[in-house]
Amino acid sequence: MKKTLLNTLLSSLILYTSVSLAADAIKPNVTILATGGTIAGSSKSNLDTTDYKAGSLDINVLINAVPEINDVAIVKGEQISNTISGNISSEILLNLSKRVNHLLNEGKQQGVVITHGTDTIEETAFFLELTTQNKQPIVIVGAMRPATAISADGPMNLLESVVLAADKKAENRGVMVVLNDRIGSAFYTTKANSTTPDAFKSYEPGYLGVFVSGKPKFYYTPAQPVDRTFFDVSKVDKLPNVEIIYAYQDQTPTMLHAAINNGAKGIIVAGSGNGNVSSNMEEAIKQLSDKGIPVVMATRTGSGYVSSKSFAIGSGFLNPQKSRILLQLALATGANLKQISNYFDSQR
Ligand code: SIN
């Protein structure tokens, strides 16, 4: 009798184990690559949303705080860095891109999620957009409130980003940025507010989709930004120094000369309006262009198109920080002035 009971218990255990193994076998794999930021931030006060320490919690702490993630995918966390996003160096960017490419080329992951500080998330997102070309979803996510805050946005953002990375409907859409229930294209999304949870905007092109009760709803069939360029960085181990100079009334070229004298290999100008500057600046920029030093005119307005000038390259739809990433990649892969101009032209 005892033996029969034991046999029944053992069979049930075997059945349970095989059912849960079978359930796991049909769940997609998603790897989360963590870099730091407010999503991994903590503070002594749950009311503190400005003076907390960003990049202080390990990725496994973030995953364990959202057990629902395990119903969606088989999730593995890897810590690439744990820092505020202002510290994301060209070395971290290159490591991250190489790791994403490796994971997706291996073919075992349905998608990859990157956790990141929101301050410069758009730069890393754009860098990944230009250095990957897999169909699987690459989702980059942050939070505006630290993990310790009342109504922290990180846990839901993380869950939604894993749901998106695990979803085949999210394939062939380029790198996507997830915050505040919105899905944005890495090409166009930008941080447009310093503190509020709805900080991320995609002004002219709009969002790709929205989450409803944690499920992604897309507005369009899969689409890629027009003329998205691909740069193979598998053999690149450093990005050149490119400085951004902010334009203002009656500006002298002091900062421009300082940047070049300190080793900048290219300059982005956050010009006024359609990439305009004072006559003094224009003359100095022309001299640099004549020497073969690339200068790209972007706009400080926050959105819109910048056309090419007689004295410099126009950034098209790219804002200054994204123009810097494109120029760094162009220089790192050996482009000359004409090719650089074509890369920016192809953004139109
Ligand atoms: C950061 O960018 O690392 C800090 C700010 C944030 O993540 O919201």
Q: How confident is the model at residue 77 (pLDDT cuts 50, 70, 90)?
A: very high
pLDDT at 180: 98
Q: How confident is the model at residue 10 (pLDDT cuts 50, 70, 90)?
A: low
Q: Is the CB of 56 under 6 A from ligand 1?
A: no
Q: Is the pLDDT of residue 14 over 60?
A: no
Q: Is the pLDDT of residue 21 over 80?
A: no
pLDDT at 4: 59
Q: Is the pLDDT of residue 212 over 60?
A: yes
pLDDT at 231: 98
Least confident of 20-29, 34-43, 82-91, 275-284: 20-29
333 is catalytic: no
Helix (H, G, I), strand (E, B) or coil at 37: coil
The proportion of the chain whose per-residue pLDDT surpasses 90, expressed as a percent, equals 90
From 35, 38, 43, 198, mutation site for ligand 1 pocket: most ligand atoms within 8 A of C-beta = 38
Summarised one tens digit per residue, pLDDT across range 289-328 is 999 999 999 999 999 999 999 999 999 999 999 999 999 9
301 is catalytic: no
- For residues 62 and 114, give the distance between their C-alpha atoms in angstroms, rounded to a whole number: 12
Summarised one tens digit per residue, pLDDT across range 137-177 is 999 999 999 999 999 999 999 999 999 999 999 999 999 99
Distance 185 CA to ligand 1 centre (A): 19
pLDDT at 226: 87
